[in-house]
């Protein structure tokens, strides 16, 4: 069985989606629809924007979503490929929901633009941070974070793969956790170049604002199950989608469990759709025998079709 997976923040780069839009009308139309929905030229930002502009959360989120859906539409048109399951890492869950027909693309791209703004404004720059910790298991790292918190917030935010967990919270608490992790044998523990402590309880104001944003969003029946970040289980109930997306803002991304869930369901082949190959790298560590493909540009499409 096959699954489509969609990347989140950190996969962006200047030039993403450009050759797809130049070579496939269906991809060009996606970028044009995004421009119309957002009221500014997100295509230009993807194709030739500065890395600094693309790193701004309010730009990153619609840029990656648009590039991912452009790649998806090309894949569907050129191959007729259809997945048994879809999943996305954080922001990528919105791409997965568009792929499953739950949310219209034009609505999704406006929603993630707002999501990015809400997340950035939830915590003043410098107050929150995230760090990658490698070589410590989840249970030990959770205990270590409780010890490092000292009245502040720090906790696991992304369970990416065995031995790779991202933590988030107050900057000072994250720094204490880094030092403790190093003392206790972590292979690596380092701050990440992000502007806010995503997927931590500090994001509660963003979750509240996103919930209000969803009041005008219509969710349609899903054509295939989405493995949600919050539950790491398949969801095909459109009435649960909004709640899961609101919870996702503050809850950890359970990516390793999501892949193991799909493996148990019989998935043995993954197509990463969108910029970069971050998820393929993670999946290789979680489910080594799985077949991995990707589409983010014309060259990867040609390789996938062989």
179/110 same-domain check: no
Other CB atoms within a 10 A radius of the CB of residue 139 amount to 8
40/8 same-domain check: yes
Sign of the torsion angle spanned by Cα atoms 100, 102, 104, 109: negative
* Three-state DSSP string of 153-213: CEEEEEEEECCEEEEEEEHHHHHHHHHHHHHCCCCEEEECCCCCCCCCHHHHHHHHHHHHH
Task: Please check the confidence at residue 91 and state whether its pLDDT lies above 90.
Answer: yes
The residue from 140, 171, 194 where one domain ends is 194
pLDDT at 306 (0 to 100): 76
The residue from 161, 178, 194 where one domain ends is 194
Over residues 268-286, the pLDDT tens digits come to: 999 999 999 999 999 999 9
pTM: 0.95
85/48 same-domain check: yes
pLDDT at 56 (0 to 100): 86
Domain with residue 134: its CATH number is: 3.30.70.250
pLDDT over 70, % of the chain = 100
Question: Nearest-CA neighbor of 249 among 152, 115, 130?
Answer: 115
Over residues 189-203, the pLDDT tens digits come to: 999 888 789 999 999
115/132 same-domain check: no
55 pLDDT band, cuts 50/70/90, is confident
First and final C-alpha spacing in the chain: 19
111/211 same-domain check: yes
173/93 same-domain check: no
Q: How many domains does the chain have?
A: 2
Q: Which domain holds residue 171?
A: 128-194
Mean pLDDT to the nearest integer, 234-261 = 97
Over residues 141-150, the pLDDT tens digits come to: 999 999 999 9
Domain with residue 94: its CATH number is: 3.40.366.10
66/207 same-domain check: yes
105/147 same-domain check: no
Q: Which residues are catalytic?
A: 90, 199
Mean pLDDT to the nearest integer, 149-172 = 94
Q: How far apart are CA 256 and CA 232, in angstroms?
A: 9
Mean pLDDT to the nearest integer, 72-79 = 94
176/29 same-domain check: no
182/206 same-domain check: no
Task: Please check the confidence at residue 109 and state whether its pLDDT lies above 80.
Answer: yes
pLDDT at 81 (0 to 100): 86
Q: How far apart are CA 57 and CA 190, in angstroms?
A: 20
Give SS3 for 57: helix
99/28 same-domain check: yes
The residue from 138, 161, 194 where one domain ends is 194
78 pLDDT band, cuts 50/70/90, is very high
136/155 same-domain check: yes
pLDDT at 193 (0 to 100): 80
pLDDT averaged over the chain?
Answer: 95
57 pLDDT band, cuts 50/70/90, is confident
């Amino acid at each position: 069985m096959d699954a489509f997976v969609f990347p989140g923040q950190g996969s962006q780069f200047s030039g993403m989606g450009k050759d797809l839009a130049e070579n496939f009308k269906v991809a060009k139309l996606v970028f044009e629809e995004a421009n119309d929905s957002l009221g500014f030229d997100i295509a230009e930002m993807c194709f030739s924007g500065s890395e600094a502009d693309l790193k701004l959360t309010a730009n990153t989120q619609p840029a990656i979503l648009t590039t991912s859906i452009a790649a998806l539409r090309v894949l569907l048109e050129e191959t007729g490929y259809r997945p048994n399951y879809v999943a996305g890492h954080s922001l990528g869950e919105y791409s997965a929901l568009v792929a499953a027909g739950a949310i219209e693309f034009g609505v999704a791209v406006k929603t993630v633009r707002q999501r990015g703004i809400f997340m950035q404004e939830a915590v003043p720059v410098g107050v929150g941070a995230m760090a990658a910790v490698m070589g410590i298991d989840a249970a030990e790292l959770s205990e270590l974070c409780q010890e490092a918190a000292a009245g502040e917030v720090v906790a696991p935010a992304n369970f990416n793969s065995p031995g790779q967990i991202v933590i988030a919270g107050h900057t000072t608490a994250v720094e204490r956790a880094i030092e403790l992790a190093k003392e206790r044998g972590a292979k690596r523990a380092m701050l990440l170049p992000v502007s806010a402590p995503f997927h931590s309880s500090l994001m509660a104001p963003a979750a509240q604002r996103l919930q209000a944003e969803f009041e005008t969003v219509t969710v349609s029946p899903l054509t295939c199950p989405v493995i949600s970040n919050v539950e790491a289980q398949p969801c095909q109930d459109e009435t649960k989608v909004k709640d899961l997306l609101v919870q996702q803002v503050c809850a950890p991304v359970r990516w390793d469990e999501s892949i193991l869930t799909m493996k148990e369901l019989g998935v043995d082949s993954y197509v990463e759709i969108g910029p970069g190959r971050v998820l393929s790298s993670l999946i290789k560590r979680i489910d080594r025998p799985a077949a991995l493909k990707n589409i983010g540009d014309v060259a990867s499409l040609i390789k996938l079709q062989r």
